[in-house]
């Protein structure tokens, strides 16, 4: 009797807690994932052992956990979407997912989530997919520790690394993405966090988001992407402690901000970009405690930006610290450190006693006449710059830092 | 030839001006490099020295030296020595001594403080600029028999190449801003040794900025391996052509 009750209890709990456990592999009874999915019920676990699985599209329509043992390979043979998730509470980890089909009409992905919630995609390797991870109407999903490699050459031939569309409450953590069109793409995604990802050498943007309000980007690294990071038509974005480096090329930016408002950009590092931060139609943005170092242009701030606060940043080793395209100045630039500042500090309050004009005349000239870069740093141009610093005539006089720092901040 | 070159070098060193030149260059570059914690900024100060002071020193010193050694040259001509040898050994003596001064004054601190691509490009350009302006000075000194006039021409050439030429280029850029002037402008800049040297250094110092719009043109023309070779070739031409002209003049000159 005692044995019987304990057996009942065991059955009960095992069912609730983990469900059945199905093994898939060449040495097991079930040899295909499709067959295992037919056998499985909600909350079951399927362990897939190492082998090559070419089963077309694997449709996961039950709430199960799929675990790869010793990196089983799911191959889409460049024809099919590899995994389609059409159930809530699905968990996928430990797979190598590669060679998804390429199609512009239905956007096949390595893993694609259709209108579902609580999906976990963790510790997978994605190789040579059109879209690696595609979340469509997803909610509360976790994408963590995936390694995503694409081999795209042209923008139109490849999709994005992590593509999220009309989703909410996503957590995208510690993924490594390279070689896709956009590393991470957000469109109409809200209340989400992108944390500790590394997005390198993507063809277009390392991170691209549009119409995605209330998101946070923290501790990510964006490097050598074709055009850096683009942020467009969005409100209430926070970007903390990211590193943007080596976005080089015409129209390549560390961050491109277009029609953004109420954002916070704090503690980021911009290193060796052609233009570190480009603002167009950006309002009420706080840019604070960032490092701008070794860039062609530190800030390119268009005259249609207003009420932005640029404060406590370090500008050093940039060819031009700031450039703009008009004479209207509706932003403040106080309390920054500029390595080109040549003023003095008699009252020893660590702030320069004369205001600094960060806008160099030649950056204004180059804005209108880019080929003039040929003469940069020549004697005649230095003369022009000196004269303009003494008697501002072309550059707006109120474009200035009233309290430039004498020493750089420790950032 | 070696004997004459050696004699000229020792003569120039005895002259002491070259030592003062070395000391001034060294003082300037050591102080700039050790006081400035941002080496990129220090490099730019050094760049200005190379684009202004080094050519000025080379051109004035060499012109005056050539005029002063006219009696020595007459003496040598009376010996069984080819005129070509006399002229080239003067050039060699001047360029070796001024280049050594440059290497000791600016090269050494650069190697110590900033042995990177930017530093070495500055060093290399200085080593081109020096003989270029010595060659120009020798041409000026042979063109005019009158000393004041020769020095005047030399200074005008320096002023033209370092300031007026850029002014003209800038003026043309604004006048023809609406036309596709990129290539002609690049060619025009490449024809001036000072501009060319500046652009070669710019390619190493302002890398990020040059990746932008003009960067495409810059990279195409100057940044590639072939671009480097062409640029160095152009700089060599700037040594060879004035030298060659002055040599022809000297060979046919009635001393």
Sign of torsion over alpha carbons B34, B36, B42, B45: negative
- CA–CA dist A318, A130 (Å, integer): 37
pLDDT for res B199:
87
Average of per-residue pLDDT across B106-120: 89
pTM of the model: 0.85
Q: Which of A45, A99, A87, A98 is nearest to A68 (CA)?
A: A45
> Three-state SS for B251?
helix
> Three-state SS for A401?
strand
Question: Between these two residues, B152 and B117, which has the higher pLDDT value?
Answer: B152
Q: Select from B208, B211, B214, B217 the residue whose CB has the most chain A CBs within 10 Å, as the one to mutate to test that interface.
A: B208
pLDDT in tens, chain A (411 residues): 565 666 555 555 544 445 789 999 999 999 999 999 999 999 999 999 999 999 999 999 999 999 999 999 999 999 999 999 999 999 999 999 999 988 878 888 999 999 999 999 999 999 999 999 999 999 999 999 999 999 988 888 889 999 999 999 999 999 999 999 999 999 999 999 999 999 999 999 999 989 999 999 999 999 999 888 898 999 999 999 999 999 888 888 999 999 999 999 999 999 999 999 999 999 999 999 999 998 989 999 998 999 999 999 999 989 899 988 888 889 999 999 998 888 899 999 999 999 998 888 888 888 888 888 888 888 888 888 888 877 777 778 888 899 999 999 998
The β-bridge relationship of strands A216-218 and A193-195 is: parallel
pLDDT for res A4:
61
* Chain A residues touching B206 at Cβ < 8 A: 296, 319, 376-377
Residue B234: count of CB within 10 angstroms of its CB: 15
DSSP designation for A398: T
Q: Do B170 and A272 touch (CB under 8 A)?
A: no
* Chain B residues touching A376 at Cβ < 8 A: 202, 206, 209
Is the pLDDT at B38 greater than 80? The verdict is: no
Q: How far is B144 from chain A (nearest CA, A)?
A: 29
Using CA atoms, how far residue A122 sits from A126, A147, A406, in Å, is 11, 10, 47
Q: Do A250 and B215 touch (CB under 8 A)?
A: yes
- CA–CA dist B121, B228 (Å, integer): 11
Q: Do B214 and A370 touch (CB under 8 A)?
A: yes
- CA–CA dist A206, A202 (Å, integer): 6
**ipTM surpasses 0.90:** no
Sorted by sequence, the CB contacts under 8 Å of residue A133 that are 6+ apart come out as A109, A110, A111, A112, A121, A126, A143, A146, A148, A161, A162, A163
Q: Do B211 and A274 touch (CB under 8 A)?
A: yes
Q: Report the residue from B38, B189, B209 with minimal CB separation from A296.
A: B209
- CA–CA dist A74, A28 (Å, integer): 17
Determine contact, residues A66/A37, Cβ cutoff 8 Å: no
Instruction: Convert the pLDDT of each residue in B232-245 to its tens digit.
Output: 999 999 999 999 99
* Chain A residues touching B169 at Cβ < 8 A: 374-375
Full residue range of the structural domain in which residue B172 is found: 2-252
pLDDT for res A345:
92
Dihedral of CA atoms A291, A295, A297, A299 in degrees, nearest 10, equals: -20
Sorted by sequence, the CB contacts under 8 Å of residue A410 that are 6+ apart come out as none
Task: Name all domains of chain A by residue range, CATH numbers in brackets.
Answer: 18-331 (2.160.20.10)
Q: Report the residue from B170, B181, B208 with minimal CB separation from A375.
A: B170
> Which of A182-186, B190-194, B198-202, B218-222 bottoms out in mean pLDDT, i.e. has the lowest?
B218-222
- CA–CA dist B198, B212 (Å, integer): 18
Which residue in chain B is spatially nearest to A298 when comparing CA positions?
A: B209
Q: Do B173 and A274 touch (CB under 8 A)?
A: no
Tokens of B12: 């120039």
pLDDT for res A403:
93
* Chain B residues touching A369 at Cβ < 8 A: 173-174, 177
Q: Do B208 and A296 touch (CB under 8 A)?
A: yes
Give me the number of domains chain B comprises.
1
pLDDT for res B215:
63
State the pLDDT confidence band at B154, using cuts at 50, 70 and 90.
Answer: very high
Q: Do B216 and A373 touch (CB under 8 A)?
A: no
Q: Do A377 and B182 touch (CB under 8 A)?
A: no
Q: Which of A366, A123, A126 is nearest to A111 (CA)?
A: A126
Q: Do A379 and B167 touch (CB under 8 A)?
A: no
Q: How many residues does chain A have?
A: 411
């Amino acid at each position: 009797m005692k044995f019987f009750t304990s057996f009942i209890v065991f059955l009960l709990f095992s069912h609730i807690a983990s469900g059945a456990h199905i093994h898939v592999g060449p040495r097991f009874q079930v040899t295909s994932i499709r067959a295992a999915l037919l056998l499985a019920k909600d909350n079951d676990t399927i362990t897939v052992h190492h082998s090559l699985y070419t089963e077309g599209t694997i449709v996961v329509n039950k709430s199960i956990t799929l675990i790869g043992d010793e990196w089983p390979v799911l191959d889409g043979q460049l024809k099919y979407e590899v995994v389609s998730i059409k159930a809530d509470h699905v968990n996928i980890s430990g797979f190598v997912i590669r060679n998804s089909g390429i199609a512009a009409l239905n956007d096949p992905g390595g893993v694609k989530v259709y209108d579902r919630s609580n999906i976990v995609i963790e510790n997978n390797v994605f190789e040579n997919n059109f879209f690696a991870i595609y979340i469509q109407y997803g909610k509360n999903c976790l994408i963590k520790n995936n390694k995503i490699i694409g081999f795209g050459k042209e923008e139109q031939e490849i999709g994005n690394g992590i593509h999220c569309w009309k989703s909410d409450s996503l957590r995208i953590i510690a993924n490594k993405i390279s070689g896709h069109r956009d590393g991470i793409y957000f469109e109409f995604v809200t209340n989400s966090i992108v944390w500790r990802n590394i997005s390198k050498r993507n063809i277009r943007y390392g991170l691209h988001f549009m119409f995605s309000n209330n998101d946070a980007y923290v501790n990510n690294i964006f490097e050598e992407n074709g055009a850096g990071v683009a942020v467009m038509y969005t409100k209430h974005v926070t970007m903390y402690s990211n590193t943007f480096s080596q976005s080089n090329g015409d129209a390549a930016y560390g961050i491109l901000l277009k029609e953004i408002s109420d954002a916070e950009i704090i503690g980021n590092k911009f290193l060796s970009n052609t233009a570190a931060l480009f603002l167009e139609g950006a309002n009420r943005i706080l840019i604070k405690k960032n490092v701008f170092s070794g860039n062609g242009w530190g800030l390119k701030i268009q005259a249609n930006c207003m009420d932005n606060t640029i404060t406590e940043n370090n500008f050093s080793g940039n060819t031009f610290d700031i450039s703009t395209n008009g004479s209207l100045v509706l932003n403040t630039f106080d309390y920054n450190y500029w390595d080109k500042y040549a003023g003095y500090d008699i009252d020893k309050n660590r702030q320069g006693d004369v205001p600094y004009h960060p806008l160099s005349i030649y950056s204004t000239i180059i804005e209108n006449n880019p080929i003039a870069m040929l003469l940069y740093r020549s004697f005649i141009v230095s003369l022009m710059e000196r004269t303009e610093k003494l008697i501002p005539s072309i550059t707006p006089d109120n474009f200035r830092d009233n309290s430039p720092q004498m020493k750089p901040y420790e950032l | 030839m070696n004997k004459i070159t050696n004699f000229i070098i020792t003569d120039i060193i005895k002259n002491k001006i070259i030592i003062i030149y070395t000391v001034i260059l060294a003082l300037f570059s050591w102080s700039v490099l050790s006081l400035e914690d941002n080496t990129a900024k220090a490099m730019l100060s050094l760049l200005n020295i190379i684009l202004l002071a080094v050519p000025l020193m080379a051109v004035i010193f060499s012109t005056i030296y050539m005029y002063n050694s006219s009696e020595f040259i007459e003496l040598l001509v009376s010996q069984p020595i080819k005129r070509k040898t006399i002229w080239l050994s003067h050039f060699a003596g001047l360029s070796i001594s001024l280049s050594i001064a440059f290497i000791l004054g600016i090269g050494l601190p650069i190697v110590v403080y900033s042995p990177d691509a930017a530093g070495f490009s500055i060093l290399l350009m200085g080593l081109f600029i020096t003989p270029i302006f010595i060659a120009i000075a020798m041409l000026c000194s042979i063109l005019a028999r009158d000393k004041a006039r020769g020095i005047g021409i030399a200074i005008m050439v320096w002023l033209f190449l370092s300031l007026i030429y850029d002014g003209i280029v800038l003026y043309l850029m604004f006048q023809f801003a609406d036309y596709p002037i990129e290539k002609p402008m690049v060619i025009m800049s490449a024809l001036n040794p000072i501009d060319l040297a500046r652009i070669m250094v710019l390619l190493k110092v302002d890398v990020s900025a040059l990746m932008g719009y003009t960067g495409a043109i810059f990279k195409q023309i100057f940044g590639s391996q072939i671009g480097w070779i062409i640029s160095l070739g152009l700089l060599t031409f700037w040594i060879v052509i004035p030298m060659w002209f002055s040599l022809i003049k000297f060979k046919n000159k009635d001393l």
